[in-house]
């Protein structure tokens, strides 16, 4: 499976301009990749104004994602603000060309930014299969909590969609590799670049990491870009068989 990570400079709270900008990165990928990964809140930036910017499920942003998946013959994913019932969620959504859909609500809300005061946390992890790969998605701050993203051989690709700040870029670079090594799986991290409407600068450096913690592709910190890599299930299986660390892993039960 070929995956592509888009690293945009998100226009603050402007969906129309962000769709327009993302379209120019998506067009060259049509027919040339299987899965496109977008950052956290890719249509607005990391805004704490859900009352103004949220959508009900399957509205404007979902419709745009569905259109891109169909036109590009690919799967597309990333997070945006969704109103579901009486609650707001930072929701990661996947849409395929065959109209397969699934979603994950961010579990770990960034309390230091006030996200926990406005959004509701997710309750369950998501695992789904696309192109034969078992995929687990997470959002930004989730990266700091290894128990939540722990796999015991049941995941082939972990995705982190993020708005990760420049001031903590060493954490981003370190933990993405750690999640790949400890779970013996591929990891893809999609981050934004640029500065948002609150004056926060972002680190970029979106990356795709193999199960050994080696970089397959990485973006620069200060430019919009797309990175891609081919992932191999057979190579992943061979590595796990030759170095079966999961046989010695601790057993545990996750209690929410």
Residues acting as catalytic residues: 40, 106, 140
Are the CB atoms for 141 and 106 separated by under 8 Å?
Answer: yes
Paired tokens of 239? 């590595």
State the alpha helices, DSSP H only, in 27-104: 50-53, 60-72
Q: How many Cβ atoms from other residues are within 10 Å of residue 23's Cβ?
A: 13
Q: How many Cβ atoms from other residues are within 10 Å of residue 199's Cβ?
A: 6
- DSSP letter at 124 equals S
Q: 24 in helix, strand or coil?
A: helix
Q: How many Cβ atoms from other residues are within 10 Å of residue 242's Cβ?
A: 7
Region of residue 203 (left: phi > 0; alpha: psi -120 to 50; beta: else): alpha
Strand order in the sheet with 87-95: 101-105, 87-95, 75-84, 35-37, 2-7, 225-230
Strand order in the sheet with 186-190: 128-130, 133-139, 157-161, 186-190, 207-209, 215-218
Q: Which residues contact 163 (CB under 8 A, 6 or more apart)?
A: 10, 39, 40, 41, 45, 46, 140, 191, 192, 196, 202
Q: Which residues contact 157 (CB under 8 A, 6 or more apart)?
A: 3, 133, 134, 135, 136, 185, 186, 187, 188, 231
């Amino acid at each position: 499976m070929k995956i592509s990570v888009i690293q945009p400079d998100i226009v603050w709270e402007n969906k129309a301009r962000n769709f327009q900008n993302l379209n120019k990165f998506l067009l060259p990928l049509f027919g040339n990749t299987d899965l496109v990964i977008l950052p956290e809140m890719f249509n607005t930036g990391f805004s704490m104004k859900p009352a103004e910017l949220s959508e009900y499920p399957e509205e404007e942003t979902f419709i745009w994602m569905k259109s891109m998946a169909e036109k590009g013959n690919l799967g597309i994913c990333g997070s945006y603000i969704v109103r579901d019932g009486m609650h707001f969620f930072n929701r990661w959504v996947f849409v395929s060309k065959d109209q397969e859909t699934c979603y994950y609500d961010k579990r770990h809300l960034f309390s230091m930014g006030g996200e926990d005061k406005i959004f509701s946390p997710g309750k369950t992890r998501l695992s789904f299969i696309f192109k034969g790969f078992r995929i687990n998605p997470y959002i930004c701050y989730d990266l700091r909590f290894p128990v939540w993203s722990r796999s015991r051989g049941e995941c082939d690709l972990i995705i982190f969609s993020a708005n990760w700040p420049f001031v903590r870029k060493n954490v981003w670079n370190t933990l993405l590799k750690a999640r790949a090594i400890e779970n013996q799986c591929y990891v893809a991290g999609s981050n934004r670049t640029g500065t948002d409407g609150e004056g926060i600068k972002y680190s970029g450096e979106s990356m795709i990491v193999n199960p050994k913690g080696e970089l397959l592709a990485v973006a620069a910190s200060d430019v919009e870009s797309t990175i891609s890599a081919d992932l191999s299930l057979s190579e992943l299986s061979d590595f796990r068989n030759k170095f079966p660390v999961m046989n010695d892993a601790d057993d545990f039960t996750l209690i929410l």
